[in-house]
Amino acid sequence: MLKSMTGFSRYENQNEDLTCKVEIRSVNNRFIDINTRLPKTLAPLELPLKKIVKAKCARGSFDITIMVQKNGDTETNLEVTPNLPLANEYLNAFKKIQEGLSLKGTIDINTVLSQRDVVKTETKKVEDSCEEIVMQTVDKALTQLIKMREEEGKNLEKDILNQINSIKNLGKSISEKQSITVQQFQSKLNEKIQTLTSGIEINPDRIAQESALLADRCDVTEELVRLESHLEQFNLLVASPEPQGRKLEFLTQEINREVNTTGSKTIDLEVSKAVIEMKSCLEKIREQLANIE
């Protein structure tokens, strides 16, 4: 069963305190690439999130966006804390300046608070309950994404197998013409030799031998046998439950090689037309396989 590498899912989950929203987009990629967009407090979850995706998907480029917020407006995600050591350093410095320059006046709290970084604003640390709901939501969103990739994969599989079946039928038509084509080639070759050597004594056995060698070069039986074998292997890979996208790409190259060789060896116009149709089918297959996991 083939799976597409393209998909999108959105899932929202909540518990008593938090609401988590996750969006996942995936597109085709030769390998697997995972990008996460999440709050700084969730940075420790980046590696576990990537492991979840890699455990369920073999290829594709993934963009994961995660948003977490408190339920209601009673709390904020920010935490304000005083930087007492720094405030003390400022205060001591102000006193030294006052003493050193013999300045009058008092150093009040507004003077200290106006200094940079005396008060720190930070995002609150993630609690265990937050990690749990994030991982659950990502898992649900990923399940939806995989389902969508499977649905699209079914459509791609149907089209690809139709193209494979067309190539198989074209190969059979070439095979049926093969013996006739070789005989026609030998007959035409003998006629030309007779015409060109008119009045010249030539050993007939030698002519027969050379014409047989040339005719053998036009024989594509081996190519057609290998082609049929590759097509059978292709169908087996498509039916496999494991991701087979890259193997199918390599196998398509081998099929193309046999088709090209058949085209280069043939001398029959109908066979040439069949080869062109095969190449057209292979091009469509390559386009579809670019999006298969």
The pairing of strands 7-14 and 119-123 is unpaired
**What pLDDT, on the 0 to 100 scale, is given for residue 231?**
96
Whether residues 118 and 131 share a domain: the answer is no
**What pLDDT, on the 0 to 100 scale, is given for residue 16?**
81
Residues of the chain below pLDDT 50: none
Whether residues 260 and 157 share a domain: the answer is yes
**What pLDDT, on the 0 to 100 scale, is given for residue 119?**
87
**What pLDDT, on the 0 to 100 scale, is given for residue 197?**
66
Whether residues 62 and 191 share a domain: the answer is no
| Sequence-distant (≥ 6) Cβ neighbours of residue 288 within 8 angstroms | 156, 159, 160
The pairing of strands 32-37 and 7-14 is unpaired
Whether residues 92 and 132 share a domain: the answer is no
Cα–Cα distance measured from residue 232 to residue 154, given in angstroms and rounded to the nearest whole number: 19
**Residue 123 backbone phi and psi in degrees, to 5:** -75, 135
Whether residue 2 is contained in a domain is answered as: no
**What pLDDT, on the 0 to 100 scale, is given for residue 214?**
61
Whether residue 30 is contained in a domain is answered as: yes
Whether residue 15 is contained in a domain is answered as: yes
pTM above 0.75, yes or no: no
Whether residue 43 is contained in a domain is answered as: yes
**What pLDDT, on the 0 to 100 scale, is given for residue 20?**
93
Whether residue 19 is contained in a domain is answered as: yes
**What pLDDT, on the 0 to 100 scale, is given for residue 180?**
62
Whether residues 134 and 215 share a domain: the answer is no
Task: Identify the domain containing residue 130 by its residue range.
Answer: 7-74+126-149
What pairs with residue 25 in β-bridges?
Answer: 8, 63
Whether residue 214 is contained in a domain is answered as: yes
Whether residues 207 and 245 share a domain: the answer is yes
CB 293 within 8 Å of CB 3: yes
Whether residue 1 is contained in a domain is answered as: no
Whether residues 82 and 138 share a domain: the answer is no
**What pLDDT, on the 0 to 100 scale, is given for residue 280?**
96
Whether residues 130 and 39 share a domain: the answer is yes
Whether residues 26 and 55 share a domain: the answer is yes
Whether residues 175 and 135 share a domain: the answer is no
Query: How many domains does one find in the chain?
Result: 3
Query: Which CATH number characterizes residue 161's domain?
Result: 1.20.140
Whether residues 64 and 11 share a domain: the answer is yes
Whether residues 100 and 26 share a domain: the answer is no
